[in-house]
Structure 1
């Protein structure tokens, strides 16, 4: 009975994760757009109401997957879990590509990068091709065709940044980590967070710089840059989001992180400001795509705070002649000496 339950849980998690990935590939297509509008109209008539479709399709599955993974990893027998995780980790972490600017890449990392790059390229191609078919000169902005094309490219770069942001927080989850199901531990997954964060800042910078460039040559920048629009995109919130993201990214550079770790640590708490102003800029419809990572990260953070509340009793502290601090801590009715 137990083996059957674990097998069903595993199959359900695989199906959920695969379906969630497929949805991201279907999202930019014309067929999906038409069906999605019909689906939203139907959802308006039931309990989910406004934007309920976004929550049901893009938010709920990945949160449910994390919860299923938590149940699976905690209920599974420890010996079986460890042996399987080790086998999976050994198979997935074998080096595949050695000489790359990103370092050594394993098979699963190379596959994940190809999948992400394919998703970004596919999304950009679908959106831009549809935009270019509907191009007309924007009279209110006094934009020519080439300026409008450039603005569309900048806008779609913002969409690519949104995809990176949607995945950004998953690698740094601990208790609710989806990557643990693949045998990838937190220490190894941190660099995925770095890659996604760098990609997000890169696309967001292209988005912001391209938009400001078009506004500048159309002499429209002074009208919109400092305004808090009541309808549509709030551009001032987008500017604050971009500046905050750049500050976080610059504080995480190795030259800062290694020499001024406290700067890196405290600047990363600006992610709250970043997410809040991203919500104002992009709107709730887009925030539902990012919400799963933010929600799971907040929940994971809360769990870690609760788990860290019990205080450790220090029996004794001694400074050795070599300036090493020796601590005596009780553990399982015995003492263990830790040297820092």
Structure 2
């Protein structure tokens, strides 16, 4: 058994090394592509060996820029699949490279560590290099080009600035979709999750739109100064098409403006709906640049389309909602039926849609259950904080609440693995409903402690609430089944707006929903071997695309292009390639989904039969739960103290924890996260390992 684990570890290290080598080669191509060496030597050589009638010059770009990333994604799936068979442990580099993860607060970026900051600076440096080298080579051509075009040299130079600003924007667009591809293997390959990577999407998106906006404005200015304003209405079928570019820019601007924090917070629906303009943005971008050039940016978009289509397939299924715990603090815990084959890590999130409230809106919520401790149930915590969540809370908590609620889900999504066991102590600091991810961590450690009989770290939960009624959230620490354990858990609860213990904190009510035979338990979209299925979808869909695109080029495009008096339309070629890409993905992903849906249906039938047999028994004994005593919870924890009218002294708590390895986890408002980050970045906090759990949507 040990030798098998060693072999799996060796294979995974080899996969990581291969992925790193391929990625470095991919980045090298981006570095060298604007240089004269590439243009005059590399490109002619590569083009001569890849310019077959089957693909044309599009094949050259796909070989250089599309294939490497898809290859890394496929072997990344294999790496993650093998990781399921290996127990998670701390990395060898945890201690040696810990300084690279020390938090710092950077204005405009928020909380970042040295690794993130270094990578972001390197990405900006790559963009500056890309733009400056292109412009330097252009400067040498300006005197000749200005005479040829009948322009002044500064006008020709302005033309180049506009062109290379757009090309640099393309570089940002290439990396824009990776952070929001929730089911991709690329993020967990480097230890990231989609929710934690949202900030990278925001950074790169702001850079991309700033560059594309400058690109458009510079060309409008250039056309006005050179009396070429008619170019605005030009749709060239054989070169760059201006009208599609302008439509794409307008869609991008509408999308960009609504991401402004104030608009996003106060008018979330406007932000949510305008974000779908990315579809038109991409379509008209391809029509603007041609499919050949768009192939450079294709891999990120390609993987995103696969992920988006799989999410669409999952969201068509109505899932079985078993019950809800209605807390007196305008908070719900929804409990869903799930298959035993669905595994997820603590701190995962799940997107929920309730058609009776809004058919289009999807909202992310933290999963509070443990897939190991509660193999047939999945729970999420929902705080009534906006119009959507308030409507849901009112619908469930009202005396005449419905006995059935239609719900669809996407996910859950979370880290591929966690390493909480490597710490001696976990200090978890939460604000309000920020306690949700810590509930999932505590429940997972309950399973490890009681079932696997493994040593677990000591835990301190520091929860900050506004009012006493929010103490009812602490009762959610225990799963429905109770499951007491011998965890060393200390709870310090702080009530900031009340001076003493209230007379009545209210009750937690239980709402049971009638089972609907048409609803199914939440199951893994691609089954228990989801990473292998994803690898198969990526490789098979791309193979289908290559065959169909090649046949189309060979028998439709090439016969026209070989006639020197006629050239096939770039727009038609781009539109057809987009349809082929989507068709290929639909065929491959639908086949994998339907195969696994059959397997899931068998288990769903068994689960429904079991639920029907036990439906006469209430999940909670049919009585309301009094929150004043918390007897079962108190038998599980080491101690619980409630502090009224004060806030926690976080510096004293964190720096006073002297164990060798202390996990400092924080989930709550921005000010709280930054306060903890500032403490952990001090020279006195060498034993603190900072981790912020934030969901910025």
**Structure 2 counterpart of 1:15:** 21
Question: Within 2, Cα distance between the matches of 1:92 and 1:198?
Answer: 29
Q: Does 1:226 align with 2:240?
A: no
Partner of 2:219: 211
Bigger mean CA offset, 23-32 vs 317-326 = 317-326
Contact 2:8 2:82 in 1 (8 A): no
In 1, distance between residues paired with 2:380 and 2:76? 35
Does the aligned pair in 2 maintain the 1:67–1:176 contact within 8 Å? no
Distance 1:252 1:74, change over 3 A: same
Judging changes above 3 Å, is the alpha-carbon distance between structure 1 residues 339 and 224 closer, same or farther for their aligned structure 2 residues? closer
- 1:254 Cα deviation from its structure 2 partner: 1.0
Instruction: Please give the alpha-carbon distance, in whole angstroms, between the structure 1 residues aligned to 2:259 and 2:235.
Output: 30
The residue aligned with 1:294 is 301
Q: Which residue of 2 aligns with 1:178?
A: 186
1:153 correspondence with 2:153: no
Residues in 2 aligned to 1:45 and 1:334: alpha-carbon distance in whole angstroms: 55
Match of 1:116 among 103, 110, 123: 123
Distance change >3 Å, CA 180–CA 330, structure 1 → 2: closer
2:113 to 91, 106, 110: 106
Between 140-149 and 251-260, the greater mean CA deviation after superposition: 140-149
Q: TM-score, normalised by structure 1?
A: 0.89
Name the counterpart of 1:56.
63
Question: Given the alignment, which residue of 87, 90, 93 partners 1:80?
Answer: 87
CA distance in structure 2 between the aligned counterparts of 1:11 and 1:60, rounded to whole angstroms: 18
Gap runs ≥5 in structure 1: none
Say if 2:57 and 2:292, in contact at 8 Å, map to a contact too.
no
* Equivalent pairs, count: 338
Q: 1:196 aligns with which of 193, 197, 204?
A: 204
Shift of 1:260: 1.7
Structure 1 residues 26-65: aligned runs within 5 Å? 26-34=32-40, 35-45=42-52, 48-65=55-72
1:246 aligns with 2:253: yes
Contact 2:333 2:379 in 1 (8 A): no
Given that residues 171 and 179 in structure 1 are in contact (C-alpha distance below 8 angstroms), is that contact kept between their aligned partners in structure 2? yes
1:172–1:193 Cα contact (<8 Å) kept: yes
1:169 aligns with 2:155: no
Tell me which protein shows more strand as a share of its residues. 2
After TM superposition, the structure 1 stretch with the greater mean CA deviation from structure 2, 43-52 or 11-20, is 43-52
Alpha-carbon distance in 1 for matches of 2:51, 2:380: 62
Shift in alpha-carbon separation, 1:177–1:255, aligned structure 2, 3 A: farther
After superposition, the Cα gap between the structure-2 partners of 1:110 and 1:151, relative to the gap in structure 1 and judged at 3 Å, is same
After superposing the two structures, state which structure 1 stretch, 292-301 or 6-15, moved more.
Answer: 6-15
Given that 1:9 and 1:68 are in contact with CA atoms closer than 8 Å, whether structure 2 keeps it comes out as yes
Q: Residue 95 of structure 1 corresponds to which residue in structure 2? A: 102
- Aligned to 1:186, the other structure's residue is in SS state coil
CA deviation profile, 1:108-161 (whole Å, cap 9, x unmatched): 211211211221111112111111111135468652111111121111100110
TM-score by length of 2: 0.45
| Structure 1 residues 166 and 310: alpha-carbon distance in aligned structure 2, compared to 1, 3 A threshold | same
- Relative to structure 1, is the Cα distance of residues 285 and 311 closer, same or farther in structure 2, using a 3 angstrom cutoff? same
Does the 8 Å CA contact 1:40/1:51 hold for their aligned counterparts?
Answer: no
- The separation in 2 between residues aligned to 1:325 and 1:317, in whole angstroms, is 7
Q: Decide whether the 8 Å contact of 1:137 with 1:148 is kept in 2.
A: yes
Q: 1:140 to 1:272 in 2, by over 3 A?
A: farther
Q: CA deviation at 1:292?
A: 0.4
Quick one: structure 1 residues 285 and 306, their matched pair in 2 at CA, closer, same or farther if it must change by over 3 Å? same
How big is each residue's C-alpha offset from its partner over 1:291-328, in whole Å with a ceiling of 9 and x where there is no partner? 00100001112233344455332234576666545645
Matches of 1:283 and 1:140, distance apart in 2? 25
- In structure 2, the residue corresponding to 1:185 is in which secondary structure? coil
The alpha-carbon distance between structure 1 residues 113 and 315, as it changes in their structure 2 partners (threshold 3 A), is closer
Where is the helix percentage greater, Structure 1 or Structure 2?
A: 1
Give the SS at the match of 2:234.
coil
Which structure 2 residue ranges, 5 or more long, are not aligned?
1-6, 339-374, 384-697
1:17/1:62 contact within 8 Å kept? yes
Classify 1:117/1:317 alpha carbon distance in 2 versus 1 (closer, same or farther; 3 Å): closer
Deviations 1:236-265, CA, capped at 9 Å, x for gaps: 111111111111111111112112222212
Q: Deviations over 1:51-100 (max 9, x none)?
A: 21111111000011112112211221465346449949x94872354343
Q: Secondary structure at the match of 2:87?
A: helix
How far apart are 1:182 and its partner, in Å? 1.9
Of the three residues 269, 278, 283, the one matched with 2:285 is 278
User: 2:76 matched to 1:66?
Assistant: no
Indicate if the aligned counterparts of 2:80 and 2:185 stay in contact, CA closer than 8 A: no
